[in-house]
């Protein structure tokens, strides 16, 4: 173990006394290391030192969305001290942006948390830091969906917002998302300012921390009242197009919140919009940060839906709806007797495209479509959206991956008084938003609209499976798949960087025996058309981001980017054919060859 790691470990042993769990964790590690040295157990010592290296080789990075990491002791972990330091940096930023800040309570921040381990504790720590800095903290009293935090920031006119969550990561993770006064995740420039402030702070000596009870008595910490929550649900229901269609439709839904924050809010919106026949997956109903029945609680993947699918089949349900732990993403399976297990899983691309068409078509019919409507998707999300938008004369924007970029489009519209032009935004990773009442994806609203869409088609004698098939017939059979390749620790991060550097330096001429005709480098903000080399590179027109895109001669697309929240490389594949089987076969060949080309 190198000297720098040893010094950091010893520094934490000496100073991390403010959190009993962390202090105990560090003492246990020190004791095991001492025993391994004493017993001359080289294997045990090697494992402990490797663990310490991973804990201390870097600081948990505050990215554009905040923090996310494994819970535990160390600079590369999320814990009392990394949360407190991040909040101190945010507090300094808030005070600097409020020139009239001259007494406690002048500025305010909203805080929410989900069902994960230590979420409520980290929310409490954040509130203590804010209060110590004279910033009023509005805290949700119970576990709360992330979109409700975005709503509270705007409704309470806060300077910023914090939600403690690691979204759909495994149970050993937690995280910290920071929001601006617009209710949107922090933009790139504000994130950079806060990161610089955080990096100047010592974890143990430069953070202010108030006594929670005293701050509560002084009014610097306060609970968020029910009127804010009620206003949120009113705003969600306002996004409905056919508001009474679910009542009496006969629609039967199995719902699972995957032991997260969606249980009460989604059930409330179902009740208030007439979705009466709802069965809850009992093992996944109550909040539980261990996620005992789905170690990876991501409703995008079938593994997390196994219990729900089993119950849906037993109940002969029409739909299975699943929300992730912080209830900003929603997964969908639809009864389909021709599918294995009797249910077809719908991808985020499919649900998003179908919701876009439903909203466009039905708002035209109901004459509720605004003038010059706008929809937004991320660059890794299906291009079916472009064809739908063209059909209904909707302007479509492509933005970088991350829902904050969709939120920024809404914010720019709001500055011009045109926020009602925004009708829908979505990303392939099962995140959707209809309307400008929040600035983040919202699984409560999406769950409502999915049921409404299903009830609408049911009235016409169709299922969502039928509607999906019609969409493919109308716009082409798009097949999308995402490859997630994990790269753990310091060595993994280096390997990911090498793959990206190699591709950036030398783009393959062919993939799967299909010519590469276009290459976009979003880090260098360039787009190259190999078929017209004389025109030279064009600009992406987007902020810098470590993303690469390859366009093949048959319109297949490959997009590669390191995940911003997990140690993995994400590769998005799209192929288009005259049938789904044709698209699948093309993509299989492309995927196999590209995986070989990058050496994984």
CA distance 45 to 239: 58
Strands 526-529 and 538-539, by their bridges, are antiparallel
Exactly one of 115, 119, 150, 167 is catalytic; name it. 167
**How far is it, in rounded angstroms, from Cα 97 to Cα 80?**
26
Write out the E strands in 81-187: 108-113, 136-139, 160-164, 173-179
Pair type for strands 330-335 and 343-346: antiparallel
H or E element at residue 343: strand 343-346
Residue 581 designated active-site = no
CA distance 86 to 280: 37
Q: Which residues contact 383 (CB under 8 A, 6 or more apart)?
A: 478, 557, 574
- Nearest one of 543, 548, 305, 300 to 427, comparing CA atoms: 300
Q: Which run of H or E residues covers position 151? A: helix 146-155
**Contacts for 170-173: CB closer than 8 Å, 24+ residues apart:** 170/291, 170/295, 170/296, 170/297, 171/116, 171/117, 171/289, 171/290, 171/291, 171/295, 171/297, 172/70, 172/71, 173/68, 173/69, 173/70, 173/71, 173/78, 173/116
Alpha-carbon distance of 573 to 402, in angstroms, equals 18
Is-contact 110 104, C-beta < 8 A? no
Positions marked active-site: 167
């Amino acid at each position: 173990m190198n000297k720098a790691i040893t010094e950091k470990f010893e520094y934490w042993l000496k100073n991390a006394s403010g959190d009993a769990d962390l202090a105990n964790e560090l003492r246990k590690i020190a004791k095991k290391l001492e025993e391994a040295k004493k017993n001359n157990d080289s294997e045990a010592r090697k494992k402990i030192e490797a663990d310490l290296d991973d804990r201390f080789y870097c600081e948990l990075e505050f990215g554009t969305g905040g923090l996310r990491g494994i819970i535990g002791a160390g600079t590369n972990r999320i814990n009392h001290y990394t949360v407190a330091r991040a909040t101190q940096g945010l507090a300094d930023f808030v005070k600097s942006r409020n020139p009239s800040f001259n007494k406690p309570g002048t500025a305010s921040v909203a805080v929410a948390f989900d069902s994960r381990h230590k979420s409520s504790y980290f929310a409490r720590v954040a509130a203590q830091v804010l209060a110590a800095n004279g910033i009023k903290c509005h805290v949700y009293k119970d576990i709360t969906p992330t979109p409700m935090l975005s709503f509270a920031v705007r409704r309470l006119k806060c300077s910023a917002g914090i939600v403690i969550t690691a979204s759909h990561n495994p149970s050993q993770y937690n995280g910290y998302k920071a929001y601006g006064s617009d209710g949107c995740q922090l933009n790139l420039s504000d994130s950079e300012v806060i990161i610089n402030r955080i990096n100047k702070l010592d974890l143990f000596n430069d953070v202010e921390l108030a006594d929670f009870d005293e701050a509560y008595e002084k009014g610097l910490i306060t609970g968020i009242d029910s009127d804010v929550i009620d206003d949120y649900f009113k705003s969600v229901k306002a996004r409905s197009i056919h508001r009474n269609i679910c009542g009496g439709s006969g629609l039967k839904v199995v719902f699972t919140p995957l032991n997260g924050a969606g249980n009460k809010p989604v059930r409330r919106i179902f009740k208030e919009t007439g979705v009466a026949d709802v069965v809850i997956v009992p093992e996944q109903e109550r909040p539980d940060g261990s996620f005992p029945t789905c170690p990876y609680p991501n409703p995008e993947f079938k593994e997390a839906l196994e219990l729900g699918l089993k119950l849906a089949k037993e109940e002969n349900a029409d739909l299975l709806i699943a929300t992730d732990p912080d209830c900003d993403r929603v997964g969908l399976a639809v009864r389909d007797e021709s599918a294995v297990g009797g249910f077809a899983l719908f991808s985020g691309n499919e649900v998003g495209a179908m919701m876009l068409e439903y909203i466009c078509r039905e708002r035209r019919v109901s004459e509720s479509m605004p003038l010059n409507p706008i929809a937004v998707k991320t660059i890794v999300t299906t291009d079916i959206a472009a064809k739908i938008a063209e059909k209904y004369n909707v302007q479509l924007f492509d933005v970088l991956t991350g829902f904050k970029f969709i939120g920024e489009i809404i914010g720019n519209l709001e500055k011009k008084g045109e926020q009602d032009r925004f009708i829908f935004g979505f990303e392939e990773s099962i995140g959707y938003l209809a309307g400008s009442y929040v600035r983040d994806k919202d699984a409560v609203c999406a769950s409502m609209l999915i049921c409404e869409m299903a009830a609408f088609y049911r009235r016409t004698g169709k299922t969502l499976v039928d509607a999906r098939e019609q969409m493919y017939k109308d716009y082409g059979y798009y097949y999308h798949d995402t490859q997630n390749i994990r790269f753990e620790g310091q060595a993994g991060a280096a390997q990911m960087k090498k793959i990206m550097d190699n591709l950036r330096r030398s783009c393959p001429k062919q993939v799967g025996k299909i010519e590469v005709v276009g290459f976009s480098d979003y880090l260098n903000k360039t787009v190259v058309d190999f078929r017209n080399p004389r025109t030279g590179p064009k600009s992406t027109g987007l902020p810098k981001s470590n993303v690469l895109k390859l366009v093949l001669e048959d319109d297949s697309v490959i997009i590669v980017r390191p995940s911003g929240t997990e140690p993995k490389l994400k590769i998005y594949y799209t192929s288009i054919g005259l049938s789904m089987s044709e698209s699948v076969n093309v993509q299989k060949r492309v995927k196999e060859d590209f995986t070989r080309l990058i050496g994984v």
